[in-house]
Amino acid sequence: MISPYPAVTLIVVLIGALTLAGGLVWAERRLLALWQDRYGPNRVGPFGLMQTLADMIKLFFKEDWIPPFADKWVFIMAPAIVMFTVLMSFVVVPFAPGMIISDLNIAVLFFLGMSSLGVYSIVLAGWSSDNKYALLGGMRAAAQMLSYEVFMGLSLMGTVLLAGSFDLVDIVNAQQHLWFVVPQFLGFVLFMIAGIAETRRLPFDLPESESEIVAGFHSEYSGMKFGMFFVGEYIGILLISSMITVLFFGGWQGPVLPGIVWYFIKTFFFLGFFILLRASLPRPRFDQLMDWGWKLMLPLALANLLVTGAVKLAFFR
Amino acid sequence: MLSVIRTLWDVFLHAFRKRVTIQYPEQKAYLSARYRGRIILSRDPEGGERCVACYLCAVACPVDCIALQATEDPTGRRYPEFFRINFSRCIFCGYCEEACPTYAIQLTPDLEMGEYNRQNMVYEKEHLLISGPGKYPDYNFWQVAGVKIGGKDKGEAEREAPPADLRNLLP
């Protein structure tokens, strides 16, 4: 089932993702402020809506400086990789019945593959900057993202088992009677935690570590390259929220409103939840983070998969 | 894990509390009457300048931002020829107000003194002098001092006895 106008859907999704990421910057600042007993930006436009635009204009005017000691082409390419992988992952997300750019029958694997490629951008950014703090940030990012990707894939396998296919449209359709969050609650929690670690959001933002290692892997980046990392991170959050709604919360299914509206309601709910996480949780130490990933999350993911497979085999032949 | 859920719920409830931001310039913070803001030179209740150019404020100032020159008017009353405060140096400590013997120099609860040009931060006497007595409405230094100026001879100040006539103190 491919939409009849794939080129139009492509442009719409591209512009929509970038616009939503810009709106998400505004929403994050306002929501963080709401939960911190203050106002966010409220001067620049009505309710501060033009603040993101003003910030983008400022970033465009910044001096685009590449450190002379940095590895030039890798330095330039690194932010592009993160944008590329995240936007590519949006190709397989179903927004509404029939509204999808490409209905791959291995969509889940494609999504996991793209998120693995995203690790490269951070590591290359940290390495090519030729800066101790950037390197530290890059190393931490590599370790964190690799470890949490392992059980991200495993937590998704439960939904794939229940739906019987890697195709995201089939997974959404299989949730007609019961959203997968109910039988796969543990998988949902694991995928959410892994998603937060993949997009390097608080509480897993050690690679960026605003107060610990200067700016982490993007210390040497300024101007629009930093803007690309920034916007790429927000599109990544958008992607993870979309994947959570598609895989566990029935995607576009809902009683009265059209499918696309339900999709957005659910995605925005999870975006708000990610922002709440940022507002409230402290940052764990790096060894605590790695311990958690390997010693707690991975066994739980394996157990989840084991039980799901056993139940499916025993009862739902 | 449960403490994490509790933290999330607690922070979420903050959405329903009042925000503590004061939206300047529509709302302004409360400044008490003794707030150490902009410096003024006051006048006594009769309308004359209180400042007697004694240089005590210039000496007390820890950053040397006060400059003045004393002179006398024809009736014998001292006053400053010029009085200059450089507000880009002033730290608003209030030592000058504490040092002043005539309650002339005072600090007021006004802090909106932003300028684009640093030269505009140097205030002259005409910028500092106000038409009222400021925080101390009843004090007139010249009425309690024993100095002879126009309109008041020696012995005619408040609470002052007239000078003893040496030539009449015969046993």
Q: Does B5 touch chain A (CB under 8 A)?
A: no
Residue A58 lies in a domain: no
pLDDT at A62 (0 to 100): 86
Distance from CA of B20 to the nearest CA of A (A): 6
Strand, helix or coil for residue A181: coil
Would you state the pLDDT for residue B135? 92
With respect to residue A18, please indicate whether it lies within any of the assigned structural domains. no
Q: Which long-range contacts (CB under 8 A, 24 or more apart) does A231-234 make?
A: A231/A18, A231/A21, A231/A22, A231/A25, A231/A83, A232/A79, A232/A82, A232/A83, A232/A86, A232/A121, A233/A82, A233/A199, A233/A200, A233/A201, A234/A21, A234/A22, A234/A24, A234/A25, A234/A28
Of B7, B14, B23, the CB nearest to A36: B14
pLDDT of residue A4: 66
Answer whether A37 sits within 8 Å of B20, measured CB to CB.
yes
Give the model's pLDDT for residue A124.
87
Using alpha carbons only, give the angle A201, A206, A210 rounded to the nearest 5 degrees. Answer: 85
What is the number of domains present in chain A? Answer: 1
Q: Which chain A residues have a beta carbon less than 8 Å from that of B7?
A: 280-281
Output the CA–CA distances (angstroms, integers) from residue A243 to A9, A14, A31, A266, in the order listed. 18, 17, 22, 11
CB-based contact A260:A95 (threshold 8 Å)? yes
Least confident of A23-32, A56-65, B120-129: A56-65
Report residue A214's pLDDT band, with 50, 70 and 90 as the boundaries.
Answer: low
Residue B80: predicted pLDDT = 95
Domain presence at residue A2: no
CB pairs under 8 A between A and B: 33
Model confidence at A207: pLDDT above 80? no
B-chain CB neighbours of A279 within 8 Å are: 11
> Which amino acid would we find at residue B82?
F
- Residue A227 has what pLDDT? 85
Which residue out of A31, A32, A35 would a mutagenesis test of the B interface target, given it has the greatest number of B Cβ atoms within 10 Å?
Answer: A35
pLDDT tens string A59-95: 888 888 888 888 888 888 888 998 999 999 999 998 8
In-domain check, residue A48: no
Q: Do B7 and A281 touch (CB under 8 A)?
A: yes
Domain ranges, residue A294:
64-315
Q: Is residue A9 part of a domain?
A: no
- Residue A64 is predicted with a pLDDT of 81
B14 contacts in A (CB within 8 Å)? Answer: 34-37
Alpha-carbon span A237 to A22, nearest angstrom: 12
Structural contact between residues B122 and B85, judged by C-beta atoms closer than 8 angstroms: yes
List chain A residues with CB under 8 Å of B22: none
pLDDT of residue A277: 92
pLDDT at residue A1, rounded to an integer: 42
pLDDT of residue A306: 94
Burial of A45 (0-12, 13-18, 19+ CB in 10 A): middle
Q: Is the pLDDT of residue B45 over 80?
A: yes
Give the model confidence (pLDDT) of B75-127 as tens digits: 889 999 999 999 999 999 999 999 999 999 999 999 999 999 999 999 999 99
Which residue in chain A has the smallest CA separation from B10? A280
pLDDT digits (tens, 9 = 90+) for B131-148: 999 999 999 998 888 888
What CATH code is assigned to B45-140?
3.30.70.3270
CA distance A246 to A180: 10
Q: Is A169 contained in some domain?
A: yes
* Interface contact flag, A281 B4, Cβ < 8 Å: yes
What average pLDDT score do residues B20-32 get?
Answer: 91
pLDDT at B131: 92
pLDDT in tens, A180-190: 988 899 999 99
Does A49 map to a domain?
Answer: no
Window from A16-20, A43-47, A63-67 with minimum mean pLDDT: A63-67
Q: Which residues of B touch A33 (CB under 8 A)?
A: 19
Closest approach of chain A CAs to the CA of B87, in angstroms?
Answer: 30
- Are A276 and B17 inside 8 Å of each other by CB? no
Instruction: Mark yes or no for CB contact B10/A35 under 8 Å.
Output: no
Indicate whether B171 pLDDT > 90: no
Using DSSP, state whether A254 is helix, strand or coil: coil
> Between these two residues, A165 and B171, which has the higher pLDDT value?
A165
State the pLDDT at residue A212. 59
